[in-house]
Amino acid sequence: MEFVVVDLETTGTSADSDAITEIGAVRVLGGEVTGEFQTFVDPQRPIPAYIARLTGINDRMVAGAPTISAVLPMFLEFARGTVLVAHNAKFDIGFLRAAAARTDYAWPKHTVVDTLTLARRTFPRGEVQNHRLGTLAAHVGATVVPNHRALSDARATVDVLHEIIARLGGIGGTHLYDLTRSGKQATPAQLRKRHLADGIPPGPGVYTFIGADGAVLYVGKSMNLRSRVRSYFSPSETRRKVLDIIPLTERVDVIECASDTEASIRELRMIAEQRPPANRQGLRPSAGHWLRLGAGAAGLRAARTTKPEDDGTVQIGPLRSHHHVEPMRSLLYRSILGPDAQFGPTRGDDSFHQRMRRAMTTDPSEVLDDVAHRLRALTTSGRFEDAAQLRERTEAFLEAAARAQRLREIAEVPFIVATRRHRVSESSPWIWETLAIRHGRLGAVLALPSHGDPVASVEHLRRISADEADKHAPLCFGYWGEAELILHWLQQDGVRIVHVDGDWSSPATGAFDLGALSRAFARTAAATD
């Protein structure tokens, strides 16, 4: 790793109300100093006398120095692509971040290492009297004595950092996360298996922990495979199910993907197929909590899986929880059958199924009008808790019906090709991330160069995604998790529809949005007037 060790001198201790007077920094690679940075900074305010006595920096010394708005971009360019290190990093990095915010300068995503935190873990109290920089520098035999000047203190911190790295190396600390983690130690099994993360590529993809018999023990996905897999062998991993399978893991396999969307979908499919013991067992493609209207004279009931709707069956969901099923069932019965309805339709009620199907699929106005009048009555009588409960129940119904509507619409489309201009990281080239979608399932993904033409790839995508064409029954309710990931991707800024077989549309503001309930409630006020 390449580090930039930084130290500041300031007019006080508050990053909000005080200012920087000096920045000193040392760039280090492989134990060797590769560059230094030092400058006074005009704080644009007087330096307090006690600060001048402590640091030796007075108003005369900073007069004519550049302001922080000029210095900060130069420092960040010096530190570009490195790990920032400071002794009591909360202070130094806090001042730098506050200065960036005041000057409207974007703060980069630097990893930060705090030598004070590391020293407290590495040098026990019996070994050193305290963990101040001067004490530690003397203890490790630093070549520079810290003297409350920025560059001298940064140079001394470099020597302290090197001693800390040497000590951590003796107990198995070899990676950046060994410097950024808390005081907890990795387990012996994690240390023994840490080599399994070597050679993992960066970028998005899916990873699998494989046991001695070839069984899949765990499946995950990440936008940065290398960083994510390494984290499993560090103290930051605390999940008991994962810690239990690490001793059993013999290798980690990865599948590189073109985007996070592809990785998320592949993860869902692999968990459903392999049922790894360390993953949540509920992640199956068809399982959920649904409210189903049966065919014919059948009423509403809960369902864990879906079925085709070509026989008149209708289902909405998936619901947030099984606890929503019975309240939603009661809500719909009351709205369609009247306040005395308890158990569903009576025999011979031919209109029930038609009205309920309409309310669940296209037009919930009958439900919303009933709810709006009940809300008006409850609020007028001061029963606000009951009104809030009714509103929450109605919102859950609208959400479930809207989700089912979106799933139903995309399930009916045989073939969609869509693309967006995308790059995996700031350093990677721009590509056209192009998806072929079959009945709400991912059929294929292509990463085309930015100068390529996604339209020209339509027939190729049709061929390579043909195997997915027959896997959509019952609709895409059977793959609702995957379909919702695709719908989310399609709704992102910059996504362009390249080709559609047939028609596909999704209302921007449909009948099942919360605005429809608000409008129905407003109409009740007009009616009472």
Closest by CA to 267, choosing from 339, 350, 208, 215, is: 208
Cα 306 from Cα 112, distance rounded (Å):
49
pLDDT at 443 over 60: yes
Length of the chain: 529
Q: What are phi and psi of 324, to 5 degrees?
A: -85, -15
Per CATH, domain 188-274 is 1.10.3720.10: no
Say whether pLDDT at 471 is over 80. no
User: Which is the catalytic residue, given 148, 162, 175, 373?
Assistant: 148
For the record, the structure tokens of 209 come out as: 């922990």
Where is pLDDT greater, at 188 or 86? 86
pLDDT at 175 over 80: no
What does the domain layout of the chain look like in residue ranges? 2-170, 188-274, 294-397, 413-501
- Mean pLDDT over 106-133 rounds to 88
The answer to whether the beta carbons of residues 285 and 269 sit under 8 Å apart is yes
Q: What are phi and psi of 304, to 5 degrees?
A: -95, -25
Tokens 């160069």 correspond to 449
Q: Coil, helix or strand for 207?
A: strand
State what percent of residues in the chain have pLDDT above 70. 90
- 182 has a pLDDT exceeding 60: no
Q: What is the pLDDT of residues 184-193, one digit of tens each?
A: 667 888 888 9
Question: 2-170 in CATH: which number?
Answer: 3.30.420.10
Share of the chain above pLDDT 90, in %: 53
pLDDT above 90 for 196: yes
Indicate the DSSP class of residue 453. -
Mean pLDDT score of the chain? 87
The pLDDT score that the predictor gives to residue 309 is: 84
Q: In angstroms, rounded to a whole number, what is the distance separating the alpha carbons of residues 205 and 261?
A: 9
Given a cut of 80, is residue 399 above it in pLDDT? Answer: yes
pLDDT of residue 124: 81
The pLDDT of residue 225 is 93
pLDDT at 31: 87
Per the CB < 8 A criterion, the answer to whether 283 and 295 are in contact is no
Give the residue-averaged pLDDT of 343-347.
60
The per-residue pLDDT for 177 is 65
Task: Measure the CA–CA gap between 418 and 416, rounded to whole angstroms.
Answer: 6
pLDDT value of residue 178: 66
Of the segments 181-190, 308-317, 520-529, which one has the largest average pLDDT value?
308-317
Q: What pLDDT was estimated at residue 458? A: 94
In this prediction, residues 189-212 reach a mean pLDDT of 92
- pLDDT confidence bin for 306, thresholds 50/70/90: confident
Average pLDDT over residues 457-477: 77
> Is the model's pTM score more than 0.75?
no
Q: How confident is the model at residue 283 (pLDDT cuts 50, 70, 90)?
A: low
pLDDT at residue 472 in the model: 58
Q: In what order do the strands lie in the sheet with 431-438?
A: 441-449, 431-438, 415-422, 496-501
The pLDDT assigned to 159 comes to 95
User: Can 472 be counted among the known catalytic residues?
Assistant: no
